[in-house]
Amino acid sequence: TSLVLSARGGKIWGDYPVQRGFALGGIQQVSMSSLGTLTNAGILGTLADTVLRGYSEYRFFGDGFLLSNIELRLLAWPSSYQKIRGTAFTLLAFSDAAWVWKGSSQQTSSPSIGVGVGFKFYFFGLNLGLDYGIPLNTPGEFPKWHFSIGEVF
């Protein structure tokens, strides 16, 4: 069993192209015209901003953000990390919270919070995951499934 924490933030001052702003929502996603849409491939993780499960991709957009993620992970198979021989199965529970600003105004009056459960399947270096995220305090949002390749954060 392990507890994984992540916190990050960012701020842009001055003028910037809209596509260079911070996008929060869903699992990390990068759009590049020549490559199409790539979903959280750990290979492109540095190009993506955030992980806010329970929300649609790019649900929140702005020039500033604060984000925290917490996951409780349980190795379901094999019985210990020392016994992993190429494949493993992990269960998890998570909570993600984010604040987003555009200019001097905050996009929501309170943090956008998503909670849920998921699993990860590790197969010879490839980490596949499926998470079910529930948005807690944003009207009009419904629970969502999120598929990931690589670590989410």
- Cβ count near 37 (within 10 Å): 9
Q: Kindly report, residue by residue over 55-111, the tens digit of the pLDDT.
A: 887 788 888 899 999 999 999 898 787 777 888 999 999 999 999 888 877 777 789
The residue extents of the domains of the chain are 2-149
Q: What does each C-alpha distance from 2 to 31, 40, 70, 72 come to in angstroms?
A: 32, 22, 11, 6
